[in-house]
Structure 1
């Protein structure tokens, strides 16, 4: 399935995408509304030809009609925010219920806590982990597998970013500086003794947040910082996404992909990079693979292969659910990270003050990359180690997972079997101030000494 474009940097539009003006979003909404009658008819037709009392439902023609109706409905609908669907986990061999609670909230984000209802004390310490999810088009539920993998051995919190079209203009703006402020405030609310993990895009604001906290000798600075497939220095092994941003320049994006939210959404008249345009960019990156996936869905529906159909539905229910990003956040991120390379050049600022990763000294650092990552190229995340020069070598680790792409860095079988145990060991080591781990590749800087 086409998973390479999941969860990376803020998505860029495909080559040749048309310029957007304010009416474009309104036209999109009108098109969605105009398709409602057709979707209603296809739904009714599908029900008719799936009814076992209808003789045609048992024929190749009837099954093909029902399959075609489902394809039409699925490819024309707007997908809402997916549910987490995490109701329990296994802790120390005991099946334990999980209650998802909101423990902090601001207009553009909620902090969720996966509260495990333990029935007996655990034998070993359970580190507290804040997972900072990408704000790059998909919802935080993209990291459902990431959360599930850490729940048995960690107290897990995650950022749940809000769709910008759902935030009224009266709630103010949200840019990259606000993102950094949110991360710092969440760490304060959690009260210390925390480990932070940034998955893909948030690597830059998390490094900035921790740098600022260290510069101010903040007592709530995290014990460790794990960065996974993040675009810290996109000059290293640049990918197609990186090159597109550098070639276009920030003015092109401002003029071509920014529009206003239409009525009746709560965020009406807010400038955004809309989800439907992001989705166009996602799909065009691997258009042939998406076409093949939907052709196979049609065949599997006709054959009645329920397992493959369910896998397709689960994947695309998540993949096609996208959210709008505020224009100021999107443009500032593209400019800072992909055009100016401000962080690795030492030129990034926050509220007018310089962001200096060399001030980070109390926080252990781990970076994780995928060998075949086509979103954040190999070496882009490892560059963090050179920037965080004050972290002792025995408290820094770099790991490259063989045979996985961008998505495999934070989800999938190899993530669960090979990456998660290494991160868990690193977190425990950081909490206990122990030396670097065995069987984990050291940084190039450490190996050279």
Structure 2
């Protein structure tokens, strides 16, 4: 019922939001009489702020058209590689007519970025993707808004999330031989489970795993997010945050954790900071500080765009990761696509190098939560294990912004490069050597046989 009330209220407010936008344009245009009044700038700024507070925020685009590769602009084409009911695997295909650049692009390592399914869209990692495109073939999981997934497409559980990740890893392995995996925040746990299951079966595992700001062991340095999950029982979450999608969406009737409730929780974590940010936006509009205004809009266009999460997936994540701690206690079982139930054993991972990244000031995944992966992955040697704590960085700072580009990414790039697969050319050269040797041996034998045969024929002729 709450979801329906919210949708009714949103539909009622939408015309007023559009009207506020129109009024803001009217008072900010000096060609109009209204724009020439003494308080025009303040009135326009007020209407603009009302519009942004009341508008409906839709899923943003990645909007990555080109990237710079050593001074050459490389065109980017975003395309869907695999389409699943609850997720699409996106590939950012790179194109260039510069021969040297094209050769360089072909030899760069493939990376699967597993984006979080925890409220925001995968576009939250736009800076992550754009930065990595200069040195890697980049793929990313683009999770769908559950209210847009019809009921006939089935259910979505935490186990399904893990099976999706395994399928995407295998897809990249089928193309490139192997790949590297980067997980940011929420997916660190299911990604570790996915790779663990592959290792236990004896499958080929990714060359590296990079885990950034995730709740591998949510018992360490608990944050407000952890405390909410531990102080409230499982029934509380099911009874207070789970609602059915209203009839005006394709996923009508599906049980979800609505995006508007998640957004309310995000804002409630730092209400003063958001209030100050909006007031600063109002002042920047009055001053005509276009750069600051645009930066505010870009951030909140992303921050305010939220998706609904399927209820089964969300509730199972709360219980498995934040209440029962199944991963760290070794009590986690996952059902595969074949229906077989298997234990998650991170200690079985041996051939995948591990890099963990934490922000010093992370208020979502506390200190030590991500680094705990090293203790679980006891089969990974010390030389293949690294940890990075970023001074002064919060949660978003480890995958977006200056600290990401200047501190985290160079470390990650080198880590991936150090554990990259052997270039195909080297493999081909090794394979050609025994073939060439055999060919020479065959030629020698043929020559000897011909010589013997000729000598015999000459002897017969003389006889």
> Which among 411, 414, 430 is matched to residue 422 of structure 1?
411
Q: Distance in 2 between matches of 1:137 and 1:231?
A: 16
> Which among 41, 58, 63 is matched to residue 36 of structure 2?
58
**Aligned runs of 1:391-430 on 2, under 5 Å?**
391-430=380-419
Q: Which residue of 1 aligns with 2:158?
A: 176
Is the counterpart of residue 269 in structure 1 residue 258 in structure 2?
Answer: no
Cα deviation per residue 1:214-244 (whole Å; 9 max; x = unaligned)? 111113x211111001100011111111111
Cα deviation per residue 1:45-70 (whole Å; 9 max; x = unaligned)? 22321222223313441222211111
Q: Which residue of 1 aligns with 2:51?
A: 73
CA change 1:317–1:387 in 2 (3 A) is: same
Q: Which residue of 1 aligns with 2:319?
A: 335
When normalised by structure 2's length, the TM-score is: 0.86
Q: Which residue of 2 aligns with 1:316?
A: 300
Q: Which residue of 1 aligns with 2:226?
A: 242
Q: Distance in 2 between matches of 1:76 and 1:266?
A: 24
SS at match of 1:344: helix
Q: Which residue of 1 aligns with 2:89?
A: 111
Q: Distance in 1 between matches of 2:250 and 2:104?
A: 48
> How far apart are 1:403 and its partner, in Å?
1.2
> Which among 333, 352, 360 is matched to residue 363 of structure 1?
352
CA contact (8 A) 1:92 1:122 kept: no
Cα deviation per residue 1:14-71 (whole Å; 9 max; x = unaligned)? xxxxxxxxx1100011001111332233233223212222233134412222111111
SS at match of 2:419: helix
Q: Which residue of 1 aligns with 2:202?
A: 217
> How far apart are 1:411 and its partner, in Å?
1.0
When normalised by structure 1's length, the TM-score is: 0.89
**Aligned runs of 1:23-422 on 2, under 5 Å?**
23-119=1-97, 120=99, 121-123=102-104, 125-190=107-172, 191=174, 192-219=177-204, 221-351=205-335, 352-422=341-411
SS at match of 2:2: helix
> How far apart are 1:93 and its partner, in Å?
2.4
CA contact (8 A) 1:60 1:302 kept: no
Cα deviation per residue 1:114-172 (whole Å; 9 max; x = unaligned)? 11103323448311000000000000000000011111110000000000000000000
CA contact (8 A) 2:193 2:344 kept: yes
Q: Distance in 2 between matches of 1:308 and 1:78?
A: 22
In structure 1, list runs of 5 or more residues that go unmatched.
Answer: 1-22, 434-449
Q: Which residue of 2 aligns with 1:438?
A: none
Q: Distance in 1 between matches of 2:31 and 2:303?
A: 35
Aligned residues: 410
Cα deviation per residue 1:238-281 (whole Å; 9 max; x = unaligned)? 11111111110211111110000001100001000000000100
Q: Which residue of 1 aligns with 2:439?
A: none
Instruction: Kindly report the root-mean-square deviation, in angstroms, between the aligned alpha carbons of the 2 structures.
Output: 1.3
> How far apart are 1:310 and its partner, in Å?
0.6
Q: Distance in 1 between matches of 2:188 and 2:313?
A: 15
CA contact (8 A) 2:14 2:54 kept: no
**Aligned runs of 1:426-437 on 2, under 5 Å?**
426-431=415-420
**Structure showing greater relative contact order (alpha-carbon pairs closer than 8 Å, 6 or more residues apart):** 1
- Which one has a larger percent helix, Structure 1 or Structure 2? 2
CA contact (8 A) 2:26 2:34 kept: no
Q: Distance in 2 between matches of 1:138 and 1:258?
A: 17
